[in-house]
Amino acid sequence: MTTTTPPSSADAEPEEELSLGAVLLRSARTRRERVAVQALVEDETLLARDNVRTALVARQDGRMRCQWHGVAGRVFTLGLPPADLAFLRLVLSLLGIGHTPLSAAIDLDERRLLILLRALIRIAGNDRIAVGTRM
């Protein structure tokens, strides 16, 4: 299993030199947050949208952080296409925010389904289950 852990403050680069994804991963406080941020970073498309970044990212205590409840309250006002909306809602459900049934995965393409499956395995703390293409 591949997990991303935030760097220690001793070897940390200034936020201005890091990508948004790296900054958000560094600011994650719990495993659930780390897994949710990692899913968004792997997806790339949602964090590339200005309206999602505006709803999700805020400066708190001098650091950029995800404001999960802020985006959860605005998720239906972001004007996202059904596939983006389903993926974002499923990522929020990894944090225990909202009530999104797993059946929402029907709207995901193969790439996002793979991201979600890996996220579920990471949250469970399992490093033995492999998710990938069958041979």
DSSP assignment of 23-55: HHHHH--SHHHHHHHHHHHHH-TTTTSHHHHHH
Q: CA 2 to CA 90: how far, in whole Å?
A: 20
Assigned domain for 1 exists: no
The rounded distance, in Å, linking the Cα atoms of 120 and 71 is: 21
Q: Is position 53 within any domain?
A: yes
**pLDDT exceeds cutoff 50 at 34:** yes
Q: Which domain holds residue 74?
A: 16-124
Residue 11 falls inside a structural domain: no
Residue 23 lies in a domain: yes
Residue 90 has pLDDT above 70, yes or no: yes
Task: Kindly state whether residue 41 falls inside one of the protein's structural domains.
Answer: yes
Mean pLDDT on 14-30 = 78
- The answer to whether residue 97 sits within a structural domain is yes
Judge whether residue 91 has pLDDT over 90: yes
Residue 4 covered by a domain: no
The verdict on residue 50 lying in a domain is: yes
Residue 8 has pLDDT above 60, yes or no: no
How many domains is the chain built from? 1
Average model confidence (pLDDT) across the chain: 84
Question: The pTM is what?
Answer: 0.81
